[in-house]
Amino acid sequence: MRINQYASGADRDLNGERTNVSQAVIRRLPRYFRYLRELIRQGKMRISSSELSSMMHVTASQIRQDLNCFGGFGQQGYGYNVNYLYARICELLGVGAGIRAIIIGAGDLGRALVRSPMFEKRGVDIVAMFDVNPSLIGREVGGVKIRSMTELKSFCEEIPVDMAVLTLPKESVDEVAELLVENGVRGLWNFTAKELTLSPDARVIVENVHLGDSLMILNYQLCNPTDRDETK
Amino acid sequence: MRINQYASGADRDLNGERTNVSQAVIRRLPRYFRYLRELIRQGKMRISSSELSSMMHVTASQIRQDLNCFGGFGQQGYGYNVNYLYARICELLGVGAGIRAIIIGAGDLGRALVRSPMFEKRGVDIVAMFDVNPSLIGREVGGVKIRSMTELKSFCEEIPVDMAVLTLPKESVDEVAELLVENGVRGLWNFTAKELTLSPDARVIVENVHLGDSLMILNYQLCNPTDRDETK
């Protein structure tokens, strides 16, 4: 299974019709989500593609193309209805789909994530954390109970879980990933340093977050300042 | 200033010669770093491009092309010397360049990051944390002292800082980014939900980490499972 890459290909639009929305467009949608959310916070009702363009530092033509992929939300000379556009993007991105998540690993990162408003803002409900450390089990963090890994199976039988956030030590990640898939978890958000390699028939979606890679890119740029594009 | 994108263009090789290494190759280097590190841990001295290919799920030809960009470390029929390759990639990525970093914001995420081994593994030294919360100032986390934001200027005068990790509330991020740049910080690793927009002449490199965007892509895939590429 290839990870951190997504197929370009056919997607479905809001009416369930197959369209040719590339995964590149899908990857850009969360950014529209953030900017539209901010416009709503500012009480802005309507925005033109050129205004959005200068806010987001992409061309107006790119914006029109991206948004037209989903059925053309804008009106010529009138712009986009911010609330409508936001609602549509939320729908496409599964905000409001009632996604249930668990966090595996109640260490520093797991505890930081469970307290973050990020999940709630995106409609993801953290229903439990799991750990193997007896001194953590039974405690509550951010209103979420830390349970023993031995409870995982029975928990998932009672409350179907869509997604697991992996913040456990990398040594255990393969084994735990298998266990999660066996228990019906369909999405893995992987923060461990280990890239997940699941069997090709595993019906699971993996999104790897390699913070260390991002740090190294910044390192590289700091050490090679002459390679920066000064026109940016 | 465009962010989260890097120019493709000329870079320098190890002898300081200009080469045509694209930023796409640079973006892939941290992944080689991780895999080589793991091979060293396993005591592996030598690896062929085909072995590396099957480990990393990229073509052997891609690997040869990537590594040849930096002066051809491999030998035909002999493979790559793992330690040598690792050392070269470390050098390119600035591991060992003595990069000094500070963390702005000693909240959950800042505290999780300072305790993470990620920085040390990549040769980045966290020299201080800063916050505005009086109840945190003076405390130590992961061996690093939390200082008041009012000390930032004098601290940077005494100990030049290369990089700041931004885990503060997004409302303050623009102002703090300006202050950091004024005080000689050249790289910003931005974890806030706000994308940084610095003036075009600001001599600073920004690497935005949008965890929420990554989460939303996983959401999307969970809600649109038919769009997965089943060949992966």
What's the average model confidence in pLDDT over B42-51?
A: 90
Binary contact (A222, B93; C-beta < 8 A): no
Determine the distance in angstroms separating the CA of B151 from the nearest CA of chain A, rounded to an integer.
Answer: 24
Q: Is the pLDDT of residue A12 over 60?
A: no
Binary contact (A97, B200; C-beta < 8 A): no
By Cβ distance, the residue of B205, B214, B224 closest to A218 is B205
- ipTM > 0.95 for the complex: no
Residue B3 has a pLDDT of 32
CB B52 within 8 A of CB B60: yes
Q: Is A154 on the interface with B (CB under 8 A)?
A: no
Report the C-alpha gap between B67 and B49 in whole angstroms: 10
Measured CA distances, B53 to A3, A53, B58, B77 (Å) = 14, 40, 5, 15
Binary contact (B2, A214; C-beta < 8 A): no
Nearest-by-CA chain A residue for B186: A222
Q: Which residues of A touch B211 (CB under 8 A)?
A: 118, 209
Determine the distance in angstroms separating the CA of A191 from the nearest CA of chain B, rounded to an integer.
Answer: 10
Q: Is B59 on the interface with A (CB under 8 A)?
A: no
Report the C-alpha gap between B39 and B203 in whole angstroms: 37
Best of B218, B222, B227, B228 to disrupt the A interface by mutation (most A CBs within 10 Å)?
B218
DSSP state of A107: S
Binary contact (B27, A116; C-beta < 8 A): no
pTM for this entry: 0.85
Q: Is the pLDDT of residue B36 over 80?
A: yes
Residue B69 has a pLDDT of 76
Which has more pLDDT, A187 or A96? A187
Determine the distance in angstroms separating the CA of B153 from the nearest CA of chain A, rounded to an integer.
Answer: 21
For B205-218, write each residue's pLDDT tens digit: 999 999 999 999 99
For B177-208, write each residue's pLDDT tens digit: 999 999 999 999 999 988 887 777 778 999 99
Q: Is B153 on the interface with A (CB under 8 A)?
A: no
What's the average model confidence in pLDDT over A157-169?
A: 97
**CB burial string A62-80: b at 16+ within 10 A, e below:** ebbebbebbeeebeeeebb
**CB burial string B127-147: b at 16+ within 10 A, e below:** bbbbbbeeebbeeebbebebb
Nearest-by-CA chain B residue for A118: B212
Identify the top-confidence range among A3-17, A75-89, B123-137.
Answer: B123-137
